[in-house]
A and B are shown apart, each in its own frame.
Chain A
């Protein structure tokens, strides 16, 4: 954990300017070591370093106040106070993702969870309360890699190189966007549903409202990891139901769920729609109706796991 060691080594400093990979401008911290101390658990793979003087004015500023911490950014106006440094770190992560989206206009940003069931990313584009964080925790407990529990990016892929049967090296034009991970630790809300636990997973920092998980590296896709979007699954949690079952979902069903989840800065709605439509129509599509999170994870793995 070189990042964490580097950050902790400067503990005596009161004012820090940190550079986050993918952001054009640094983040200013004034008297915020308790917040910084959480970053290695919450963002275990997002490259962070001390910013040089040439990086300019900060895009996000976090400062110690008499009552805790205050966060200010173009996405948090007016500045928001936080008594708990972990709450401040959570809010900082939200703004980091907004800043990343603003500085990478070719990407789309989605409120969605995703996991790698063995063949790429399975995306769950659902609103708050659908159970996506809890579901990816259940998938992680079954050794499936969490790609995101709340937010991910979609980006045009790099060129793909393949050897043709003749031995010639071919440069294949990518056909659509790929999912890109931010490497943020999953954070299920508490209490977990009855019967759901962290299993073999190690709990990280938390409050009485939520808890981060400290996943081993193989179970959390690192910052910048990419994967093809193999399928989209709408989560339909029915509280009084038992078990889980998969049904077909139309491309229109998926798009209806996916479009409101996009929060990137792009304003070209026609282009955004075309990208999302292409992605959805090229992928498998399903609806998962479930009342039991463990059954939901088992059903997904039985249907799609490899």
Chain B
């Protein structure tokens, strides 16, 4: 998987299938955070960045994004303790 940042977006390119996926600004930021944090820590940081949005809403959005990325094979779960996800790049 190749990730290309263009302005505020991220394009994820799968050379195997030829598919190209687009993540808008928030999705791109979430992707970057997930590279070095687990789901809870990513949600915490986003909640700090968007204090007017309930944490539960952010958590639901992040979970939905992660579920979608995993379903598309763009993210893989990581079995190691302390970090639940690993970027599939």
Contact = CB atoms under 8 A, between A and B. Distances in A.
Nearest to B28: A252
A255 interface: yes
Given A270-B2, A273-B20, A252 B7 contact: yes
A250 interface: yes
Contacts of B8: 250, 252
Given A269-B13, A270-B13, A255 B18 contact: no
B14 interface: yes
A259 interface: yes
A267 B7 contact: no
A11 interface: no
Interface string B1-37: 0101011110101110111101000000000000000
Interface in A133-190: none
Interface residue tally of chain A, by bracket? Answer: 10 to 19
Majority DSSP secondary structure for residues of A touching B: helix
Contacts of A252: 6-9, 11, 22
A250 to B, nearest CB: 5
Contact of B13 (A250, A251, A256, A273): A273
A277 interface: yes
Given A269-B13, A270-B13, A273-B11, A251 B6 contact: yes
Nearest to A276: B20
A251 B7 contact: yes
Contact of B7 (A250, A268, A272): A250
Given A273-B11, A277-B6, A256 B19 contact: no
A270 B4 CA distance: 10
A259 B18 contact: no
Nearest to A274: B4
Contact of B4 (A256, A267, A268, A277): A277
A253 to B, nearest CB: 8
Given A251-B6, A270-B2, A277-B4, A256 B14 contact: no
B32 to A, nearest CB: 15
Interface string A240-281: 000000000011100110010000000111101100010000
A269 B4 contact: no
A272 B18 CA distance: 9
Interface of B: 2, 4, 6-9, 11, 13-15, 17-20, 22
20 contacts: A250-B9, A252-B6, A252-B7, A252-B8, A252-B9, A252-B11, A252-B22, A255-B9, A255-B11, A256-B9, A259-B11, A259-B20, A267-B18, A268-B18, A269-B13, A269-B20, A270-B15, A272-B20, A273-B4, A277-B6
Given A252-B9, A252-B11, A255-B11, 11 more contacts: A250-B7, A252-B8, A252-B22, A256-B22, A259-B20, A268-B18, A269-B17, A269-B18, A270-B15, A273-B13, A273-B20
A-B pairs with lowest CB-CB distance, top 8: A252-B9, A269-B18, A252-B6, A252-B7, A250-B7, A267-B18, A256-B22, A269-B13
